[in-house]
Amino acid sequence: MRASMSQSDGFLNHDGPPRDAWQATWDALAGASSLVVVTHANPDADGVASLLAVTTVLTSRGKQVQAAVADGTLPDTLRFLPGADTLRAPEDLALGPDDLLVLVDCADEPRLGPLYRAHPEWFDGTHRMVNIDHHVTNTRFGAINLIDPAAAATCEVLAVLFLEMGVPIDAALATCLLAGIEGDTLGLRTPSTTSRTLRVAAELLDRGADLDTIVDYLFRVKPFSTIRLWGNVLSRAVWTGDIVWSEITPEMLAESGATAAEGEGIVNFLAGTRGALVGALFYQQADGWRVSLRSIREDVDVAEIARLYGGGGHSRAAGCRVPPGIEARDRFLSDVAGYLAGISAAR
């Protein structure tokens, strides 16, 4: 007998996805015998934890599951997550005609990076696809979309789904789900943290989530290479008008012995500069700049800025890509300054 939602709406937001969207998502997952589950390139804690949480639940129900990060990367700080050693290389994925494709924490298909470019046929509408996310900029590209922008993390969406459907949540699964929530809220500190986020987190703690280990790996304990990288990046910070920004180049990574993933969190540090409206961090790559944007101001929507360059995210945290070269980077900064000037003029 299939699981169905209780009538109490215990963890559901009345302004969130309708009841039938939650049920349809669960029915699709539970009804599939084989699935391919993927999260976005350049993964963060929420993306990887969402991927592993879905994989854990479906595998425990006897499903055949292939799971991978779209670009095959896995930051060392996330290798503690239960099930991380089961992830496949994206090139080893094989999507059959009867397989269900599940995308988690992915606002649009291009965020899948090399996987999207290598397999455009997966996204041409001929394959069944479930899209589970919390980004307000999600393009609803799935046949079934469970998008809850009121959630602080995709792991919050999944936790609500599993709790409402009566899915057993053991300590390992609870740890995955709480890690995703902790990662996207910087330890329950971002404005996206709601009373439901706290209630879900409390429920996961009650079910055995290992908060101490999560906090160690995500926030407290860092390799020396990370310390060196942060020092290098922060020493190069520039204050341009209302923007505080810096960059991470391949040379800086080599000098510090760090990976690009070790720059996670620097942009939040920049955004917290007193008097700044936006913090920006540019990651220099062969094909251009990957840009992370943050703001702690209620009247600044960095997702709106990111959308100008084909990106997206949330009002306080977003990202996009900028063409290569110093001129393109400076042009982007000029566009951000223009956006912020418009906000100042409207006050």
**Which H or E run contains 291?**
strand 288-294
Residue 177, pLDDT score: 99
- Cα separation, 209 vs 176, whole angstroms: 8
Residue 8, pLDDT score: 43
Residue 239's φ and ψ, nearest 5 degrees, are -105, 110
- Cα separation, 344 vs 183, whole angstroms: 31
- Cα separation, 10 vs 196, whole angstroms: 10
Which ranges of 149-223 would DSSP assign to H, the alpha helix?
Answer: 154-164, 171-185, 195-206, 211-215
Residue 53, pLDDT score: 99
Q: Does domain 224-346 have CATH number 3.40.50.300?
A: no
Give domain limits for the chain.
Answer: 19-218, 224-346
Instruction: Kindly report the pTM of this predicted structure.
Output: 0.88
Residue 4, pLDDT score: 53
Structurally, what CATH architecture does the domain formed by 19-218 represent? Answer: Alpha-Beta Complex (3.90)
Residue 16, pLDDT score: 86
Nearest CA-CA partner of 56 in 179, 139, 146: 179
Residue 345, pLDDT score: 61
Which residues have CB under 8 Å from 160's CB, separation 6+? 11, 12, 22, 148, 151, 196, 200
Q: Using alpha carbons only, what angle is made at residue 140 by residues 139 and 143, rounded to the nearest 5 degrees?
A: 145
Type of residue found at 219: F
Residue 14, pLDDT score: 76
Q: What is the pLDDT along the chain (347 residues), one digit of tens a residue?
A: 356 554 445 888 777 899 999 999 999 999 999 999 999 999 999 999 999 999 999 999 999 999 999 999 999 999 999 999 999 999 999 999 999 999 999 999 999 999 999 999 999 988 999 999 999 999 999 999 999 999 999 999 999 999 999 999 999 999 999 999 999 999 999 989 999 999 999 999 999 999 999 999 999 999 999 999 999 999 999 998 899 999 999 999 999 999 999 999 999 999 999 999 999 999 999 999 999 999 999 899 999 999 999 998 888 999 999 999 999 999 999 999 999 988 766 66
Nearest CA-CA partner of 57 in 81, 30, 32: 30
